[in-house]
A and B are shown apart, each in its own frame.
Chain A
Amino acid sequence: MKYAGLLVMPAGFFLALAALVLFPDPARRTLFVMCGLAVELMGLAVAVRGHMLARGARLP
């Protein structure tokens, strides 16, 4: 689960990068960059959740 989260994070980055190339309009660009950041934060949340679950399973 942690690795899944960490894989989602670069997807958010490439979304932000794509926004720069695809949208000359500043409003759309900003919106899509924000969406990219939101995807990254979701990936981070999944990675953190995965860490917590793995840690809970390892406790004696």
Chain B
Amino acid sequence: MNPVASAPVLSDAVFALTLALLLICPLAIAGVALINTGLGRSRSAAQVLLGNLAIVAVAAIVFTLVGASFAGTLPGVSGSAGFTFHAAGKLWNWLGKGSFLLRGLGADAPQSQLALLFEFLAVAMAAMLPWGSGADRCRLAAGCASAAVLAAFVFPLAAHWIWGGGWLAQLGVNFGLGAGFLDGGGAATVHALGGLSALAVVWIAGPRRGKFPREGLSTAIPGHSGIYVLFGCFVALVGWLAWNAAGALIWLHAPLAALPGTAINTLLSASAALAATFSVTRIRFGKPDASLCANGWLAGLVASSACAAFVSPVESIFVGLVAGIVTPLMVELLELALSIDDPSGAITVHAAAGLWGLLAAGLFAPQPGQLLAQLVGIAALLGLVLPMVYLLFALLNRIVPFRVDADGERIGMDLHELGGGAYPEFVIHRDERYR
């Protein structure tokens, strides 16, 4: 398929199908929330899951109040394309100028309304990813505040650049780089952005108490429920199949005939990634590791987000294989060599796999120059978005401290923040280290 054909007139049938797909997409969010919860400790399970829900709510409200205007998806009455400037003989569209508070939502073109709904889901997912990495030590208020920052400023900027006709989307027109930066399923705007934000949160909040002793290897703190994690993978698959198909229709203007292939490629990428992670962990540890396999599966889904709509099934398997091989090795590298405590693995699964998917989209897209467009987009995410998010979060940390006090971490986030545990019938064993 040729990515980003010209936007077709949306028939009622295509509108209804896209809307139906978008209504299934929240399952991807639910799956990731379940995985985040299962990979954390039992004494923080309710806080993590409630935090995911609260973050979705905060992100949706803040995106309505502030972010949607900067994303510029709804042009509103002004019909403006956004804030632009001229440099080197080119027009650089760097910020959206959409309708304020979603005014005129019902009157806008159906295509714009579907795109806006997609962005609501995308901002919710992106804002949720750092929360999983800060599990077991980050406060609910900090999670919500960081979600507000992402939904108000960072996500809208990236969404406008990539989906809203911004300078990255215009790389094809302005510099002859393929079809401009391609990201049909949100590998950049959702996963790379969320994963890089997770890195910022982990740097600011620091590791969980007792994770990295002064001497010896880091302490393993296994997730409390393999069932949540693995069931989350099944739920996420359903959501991802719809997510990638909806993204292909909305952002790449794919024909309906391309949707089965998109879904098959999504499944193949996840399957290949799982097989690769299964094999790598079997070779390294003697037995396959369930939580790493779940991470591998998710990494395959994330990588497919960038390119499932236009790669062949064999290429999709290759994309998944690479994601699945890299995932367990990078999780180990971050923890053992770089002292980065990331309970949900979001930095590896979402940032690294997302960036790999974007690169693969450039490698396998048919247009000349596409690889360079993807590299420029990756450079923007890594070189501009990560430092910006870190700076914003570091400032936010001064106002709303991310990390809970030592006593809160000792008794668990559920008791400390919610006053009750997720599993009240279970006896919570005292951690030996705190005696």
Contact = CB atoms under 8 A, between A and B. Distances in A.
Do these two chains really belong together in a complex? yes
Interface of A: 2, 6-7, 9-14, 16-17, 20-21, 26, 29-30, 33-34, 36-37, 39-41, 43-44, 47-48, 51-52, 55-56, 58-60
| Across the A-B interface, the 9 shortest Cβ-Cβ residue pairs | A13-B383, A16-B379, A21-B88, A40-B383, A6-B387, A9-B383, A12-B383, A13-B384, A40-B382
B366 interface: no
Contacts of A12: 379, 382-383
A33 B359 CA distance: 13
B369 interface: yes
Contact of B379 (A13, A26, A55, A60): A13
6 contacts: A2-B203, A7-B387, A21-B90, A29-B372, A33-B375, A41-B382
Given A6-B390, A16-B376, A17-B376, A44 B382 contact: yes
B214 interface: yes
Interface of B: 87-88, 90, 171, 175, 177, 203, 206-207, 212, 214, 338-340, 369, 371-372, 375-376, 378-380, 382-384, 386-387, 390-391
A37 B371 CA distance: 13
Contact of B384 (A10, A52, A58): A10
Given A21-B88, A30-B372, A51-B203, A10 B339 contact: no
Contacts of B372: 26, 29-30, 33
What does DSSP make chain B's interface, helix, strand, loop or mixed? helix
Nearest to A34: B375
Contacts of B371: 30
Contacts of B391: 6
Given A13-B383, A20-B376, A40-B382, 19 more contacts: A6-B387, A9-B382, A10-B383, A11-B383, A12-B379, A12-B383, A13-B380, A16-B375, A16-B376, A20-B175, A20-B177, A33-B372, A34-B375, A37-B379, A37-B382, A44-B382, A44-B386, A51-B338, A55-B212
Contacts of B384: 9-10, 13
Contacts of B380: 13, 16
Given A6-B387, A12-B379, A40-B383, A51 B339 contact: yes
A59 B211 CA distance: 11
B202 to A, nearest CB: 9
A4 to B, nearest CB: 11
A11 B379 CA distance: 10
Contacts of B340: 48, 51
Nearest to B214: A59
Contacts of B88: 21
User: B87, B338, B391 — which one has the most chain A CB atoms within 10 A of its CB?
Assistant: B338
A36 B90 CA distance: 21
Nearest to A52: B339
Contacts of A6: 386-387, 390-391
Nearest to B384: A13
Contacts of B214: 59-60
Contacts of A30: 371-372, 375
A50 B112 CA distance: 44
A43 to B, nearest CB: 8
A60 B213 CA distance: 9
B418 to A, nearest CB: 29
A12 B376 CA distance: 11
B339 A55 contact: yes
A16 B87 contact: no
B375 A37 contact: yes
B243 to A, nearest CB: 28
B383 A55 contact: no
Nearest to A16: B379
B379 A59 contact: no
